[in-house]
Each structure stands twice: as structure tokens, then as C-alpha cells.
Amino acid sequence: LLGVWAVEISLAHLNDLRLRAQGAKGRETLDAERARLRELLKDVRDLDVHPTVYHLLQSHGWLEELAIFAESRRDYTTVILHHVSQRDFAGAIRKLSDFSSAGTGEDLVCRFAPVLFGAEPHEFVSLMLRQQLNSVDPLSVLPALNSPRASLEHRSEAIRYLEHAVRHHPELMGRSADASDEADAGA
């Protein structure tokens, strides 16, 4: 509870500084206090108060700190939601790439596929083609790639992913992986 109060007091102080920040000196003071807030957030990240801290950060408008706090807690869903809500789709894809490298991004890829493919088709499919995401079930992603009114870029990227899925998931075509390897060797 003390951690929550400390965060709330720090946020109130930061809001005052933000309102009064004039010139370079005011900016320096604000940046120093922001660094203190980030240190405080590191101190409370392991406490069971994160929903309250998320609410405080969001209601005070410190969204960058919210994303940093969520990432330090390994709350990757909140990090991706932050980027998507800011319409920073390329940033969300970069974070998904980081999280999937750590072995934690597969569920997030499926969850955010419709939004990310819709906004950044090439970058999203490039992410999906990475080796660390080969274990993602293509059938869970394909609905996000299918749109009857898709642009040429979206259709091209959907085809690129389908070709990858057929190559790396021969079971989708009714063949075993061994039969696929034999067919490729004979060709």
C-alpha cells in the first residue's frame, strides 16, 4: 500500500512539474523526476499492486512509463496493447519480435494478428516467417489474413505467408513432413 501511495505522490509531483516546465531547466527537472519515478516503479514491480499502478499511470497520462513498467513485469499483453492503442503498429511488431525471441510471443501474435496485419502487412508477415514463430499454428493466424476487400499488398503478403505455411506445415496439405521432404528431394 505504501508503494501505491509513493507512486501516486510521485505522479502528482510530475504532473505539477509538467505544467510548470518552462525552458531547458524545467525540462531537466522533469526528466530527473521521471527517472526517479522509473526507479520507484522498479521497486514496486514485484508487489501485488500492479493493477492499481497501471490505473494510476494511465489516469495521470504517463503512458510511456506504463509500458516500461508492464515490460519490466513481463506483462507483454499490456505492452502490445499500449503500442496498438498509440497506433504504433511497427513498434508493436518490434516488441512481438523481442518477446517471441524470448519464447513468449506466440499467443500474442495470434491475438493481435488481425490488427497488426491490417496495419503493417509486410512487417507482420516478415515477423511470422521468423524461425522462432514456426511453432505458431497457421490455422490460428490465417483468418486474420483473409479479407475479401484486401488491398494488393495485403493479398500479396497473405500469399507469402500461405506459401511459408505450406512449406513448413505440410500436414496442412494432408502430407506428412517426411513425404514433403521426399517430394522436395525428388524435384
Expressed as residue numbers, the domain containing 18 is 1-73
Please list the rounded mean pLDDT of every run of 10 residues in the chain (187 residues).
88 88 80 92 90 94 94 93 96 91 81 95 95 87 88 95 90 63 52
Residue 95 lies in a domain: yes
Q: Which of 73, 108, 127 is the last residue of a domain?
A: 73
Cα–Cα separations (whole angstroms), residue 99 to 68, 80, 95, 185: 14, 10, 6, 35
Residue 81 lies in a domain: no
Query: Would the pTM of this model clear 0.95, i.e. be above it?
Result: no
Three-state DSSP class for residue 49: coil
Q: Is residue 68 part of a domain?
A: yes
For residue 79, tell me if it sits in a domain: no
**12: its cell numbers:** 502528482
Q: Are 148 and 178 in a shared domain? A: yes
Residues 181 and 110 placed together within one structural domain of the fold: yes
Provide the grid cell at 5.
501511495
- Give the separation between CA 25 and CA 90, rounded to whole angstroms: 33
Residues 100 and 157 in one domain: yes
Given 38, 73, 108, the domain boundary residue is 73
Best CA proximity match to 168, nearest among 186, 187, 181, 185: 181
Backbone torsion region of residue 137, taken as left when φ is above 0, otherwise alpha when ψ lies between -120 and 50, otherwise beta: beta
The answer to the question of residue 83 being in a domain is no
Which of 109, 111, 87, 85 shows the shortest CA–CA distance to 97? 109
Is 39 a domain residue?
A: yes
Domain total of the chain: 2
Same domain flag for 135 and 66: no
For the record, the C-alpha cell of 119 comes out as 496495419
Convert 52-82 to b/e letters by CB count within 10 Å (16 or more is b).
bbbebbeebebeebbbbbbbebebbebbbbb
Last residue of a domain, one of 14, 38, 73: 73
Looking at the fold, whether 66 and 104 belong to one and the same domain comes out as no
Within this chain, do residues 65 and 105 fall inside the same structural domain, yes or no?
no
Give residue 180's pLDDT: 47
The answer to whether the CB of 79 falls within 8 A of the CB of 71 is: yes
Same domain membership, residue 64 and residue 121: no
Residues 110 and 26 in one domain: no
Listed in sequence order, the DSSP H helices in 86-135 are 89-101, 106-119, 121-128
Same domain membership, residue 165 and residue 104: yes
Q: Both 108 and 169 in a single domain?
A: yes
Instruction: Note whether 125 and 94 are same-domain residues.
Output: yes
Statement to judge: residues 180 and 95 lie in one domain: yes
Look at the block and give the residue holding cell 499500449: 82
